[in-house]
Each structure stands twice: as structure tokens, then as C-alpha cells.
Chains A and B, each alone.
Chain A
Amino acid sequence: RKEVEQDPGPFNVPEGATVAFNCTYSNSASQSFFWYRQDCRKEPKLLMSVYSSGNEDGRFTAQLNRASQYISLLIRDSKLSDSATYLCVVNGRGSTLGRLYFGRGTQLTVWP
């Protein structure tokens, strides 16, 4: 079983739509969770960290369910510039502290 599983999509939505991505992770001891964004032929960039209480950053809302080992990202009022691949990322623990485990990524295309 992979450390991080994501729905690869693709998701194709019109501008202004709300879209949600889901992710599950296998290591219950993981402590840090992130969503990264990767544009085509570019490096991943941190979109937001995911905290236990859930957190919001503008149009983006991240949720964490530790019991279900489930992470989500909600994008409201989608913009054309939101088109990218969204990576669910979980950190390692113990001997692998600092190591990040990446999901395969969910591709989003926002059309006008």
C-alpha cells in the first residue's frame, strides 16, 4: 500500500466552481500534512499546511481527519490560475523524520 493515495483526476471545472480533493495516508504516526501545488515543468510549491483543527487561506480550506487518516482540500470560486497539479504530502516520523511522502497528485484544469 502506498504511503499517500490521491485521486489523480483530472478535474475539469469552470471558473467560479468549487472543487474538492481528497487524500488518504497510511502511517497513523504522521504529524505534518501539506498540500503542494505543482505547475507543469516546475517544482512543487507549498500551498498550505494542514492542521488538526482545519485551516483556511483565502479560497482554500484544508481539513484533516486523523481517525480516518484523511486529508482534504477545498477550492472555492476557482480561478483560471488555479489550474495545476495538487500534491497531498505527509511527513515521515522516527527514522524518516523530515522525509516527505507525496501522493501522485490531482490534476485540476479550470476553464473560462
Chain B
Amino acid sequence: GAVVSQHPSWVICKSGTSVKIECRSLDFQATTMFWYRQFPKQSLMLMATSNEGSKATYEQGVEKDKFLINHASLTLSTLTVTSAHPEDSSFYICSAYLSGTSGRDTQYFGPGTRLTVL
């Protein structure tokens, strides 16, 4: 199946610093990528939809100035957590949307980035 990579896989940073997470579709072009966040024992929560060449669409309650998304190419989207605080510690997962035949589209997930803010 399609492959999506994320980098870094884990990061520990001090409160107040910014962290950039990269999401790449390795063997296909993705005009749309999604960013999710998952807290322990909870389901994935969609943060934003990233469209190549345009501004991201953020879900209600997600601060766009804090979570900066850049989808500069068809294979790369980045999420920057600015001025990170301990409450931003979470598992961040990206996915790339692949439109299939007969309407059978699906998403392929990156391996996730575990962020710990001290």
C-alpha cells in the first residue's frame, strides 16, 4: 500500500520552544493531508486539513496561530507547534488522502510523532 512517513518519530522539548513535524507521502502525490492529535486512551481528533497550495482548514477549537501548517508540495506537509507547552504533549499523526476508483478513497497514516514538552 501507499507509504507515508513522519519525522521526527519522537521529540522532547522545553516549554516555549517550537517544534516542526514533517509528513511525507513517499510513493504518491497527496493534494490533501490531515493532521490529527491523540491523547492517551482517546480517539484521534482531527486538528486541520492541509491542502497543497492553499491555507489549511482548522477544526473548531484548534488555534491556527499555534499550530502552523504548510503544505508546500504534493508530497510534503509540515506542522509547527509554536511556543509549545506541556499540555501540547501528545501523539501527532498525519495522513495523506488518496482518491481511489469507484469512490473507494482512503487515507494512509504516518507512523506518528510523540511530542513531550517539559
Contacts and interface: CB of A to CB of B under 8 A. Distances in A.
Interface of A: 31-32, 34, 41-46, 49, 87, 91, 97-100, 102-105
Contact of A46 (B1, B49, B93, B111): B1
Interface residues of B, number: 24
Contact of B49 (A45, A99, A103): A99
A98 B32 contact: yes
Interface stretch (B64-72, B81-89, B99-107): B99-107
Contact of A87 (B43, B46, B104): B43
Interface of B: 1, 32, 34, 42-44, 46, 49, 91, 93, 95, 97, 99, 103-112, 114
Nearest to A89: B107
A94 to B, nearest CB: 13
Nearest to B109: A43
A41 B44 CA distance: 12
Given A91-B105, A98-B107, A100-B46, 11 more contacts: A32-B103, A42-B112, A43-B111, A43-B112, A44-B44, A44-B109, A45-B109, A99-B46, A100-B95, A102-B43, A104-B42
